[in-house]
Structure 1
Amino acid sequence: MYWLSERTPALSTETSRRTKEETAAAVRVIGEDGPLEEMEALVLETLDDDKAEDVVAIDLRGKSSVTDIMIIASGRSSRHVSAIATHLIDTLKETGRVKTRIEGLQTCDWVLIDAGDIVIHLFRPEVRTFYNLEKMWSVDPETPASAADPAV
């Protein structure tokens, strides 16, 4: 079970979804400008609730000025991606993230949800393979200075 704070469980132990009371408690704990780690946990928990596949969280703090955390996940079909996106958007709105920007919800091949400090990419598997965002944002091993500089 994830915990959003010492006093608020993220999920009810009887159900796999957050109850309205738990969401209201999370709103009080997280707030509009709540800690990044708690918002990340909420997003990951929501993706897990909706059976998102191959969920990857990439920490971009210090690497990008666009966002701090990028989360990439897949749905089995366009309908599954749509359901995941809709539930995630509703959850973010319940926690005070009403200025969330959404792209791609019409076709649901690739849905981008920009929640400010966290950007979520939801893909159908074949679209995710084509764009391969994980590879683009991964940190390459450093090349030795002698290999990079032919003059040495």
Structure 2
Amino acid sequence: MSNGDSAALLALVQRQLDDDQAQDVVIIDLAGKSSIADHMVIASGRSTRQVAAIAQKLAEEVKRAGLGPVRLEGLPAADWVLIDAGDVVVHVFRPEVRSFYNLERMWAFGDAPPVAGTA
């Protein structure tokens, strides 16, 4: 994916998470620091139902925009759903599960501190 496509994908992810009222969105810049993706986005939903809805809608919108294939992991339980969209990997958690795994803290000690977020 080109840098322009990666930026468009990240913008779409941010817009969709905002539209779906995801909470505590954090974006971590991984470009040049990890081979897994250019950005990792971490967000919360208030319930398993909202987590599942956010993940499904985001996957649909990425596909509809033609920004690549999307893989979903964890959808049946919807405590933690991973949306792998290639250059952008999104984790959507229930708040208690997010607090337990604390991915932000793990990355804050590396070379990739959070670069942006919305409340």
1:127 aligned to which of 66, 90, 97: 97
Structure 1 84/116 Cα, relative in aligned 2: closer, same or farther at 3 Å?
Answer: same
| CA distance in 1: counterparts of 2:74 and 2:67, whole angstroms | 19
| CA distance in 1: counterparts of 2:33 and 2:110, whole angstroms | 13
Deviation at 1:97, TM superposition (A): 3.8
Task: List, as ranges, runs of 4+ consecutive aligned residues in structure 1 with deviation greater than 3 Å.
Answer: none
Query: Residue 69 in 1 paired to residue 39 in 2?
Result: yes
Residue of structure 2 in register with 1:60 after alignment: 30
| CA distance in 1: counterparts of 2:78 and 2:40, whole angstroms | 18
Q: Which amino acid aligns with 1:90?
A: E
Deviation at 1:80, TM superposition (A): 0.6
Query: Residue 111 in 1 paired to residue 81 in 2?
Result: yes
Greater RCO, CA 8 A, separation 6+: 2
1:78 aligned to which of 44, 48, 58: 48
8 Å Cα contact 2:31-2:38 kept in structure 1: yes
Q: Percent identity?
A: 57
CA RMSD of aligned residues (A): 1.7
Tell me the TM-score normalised to structure 2 length: 0.86
Deviation at 1:98, TM superposition (A): 4.9
Matches within 5 A, 1:14-93: 33=2, 34-93=4-63
Tell me the TM-score normalised to structure 1 length: 0.68
Q: Which amino acid aligns with 2:108?
A: S
| CA distance in 1: counterparts of 2:40 and 2:99, whole angstroms | 17
Structure 1, unaligned runs of 5 or more: 1-31, 142-152
| CA distance in 2: counterparts of 1:67 and 1:115, whole angstroms | 9
Structure 1 or 2: more strand by fraction: 2
Q: Looking at CA atoms only, which structure, 1 or 2, has the larger radius of gyration?
A: 1
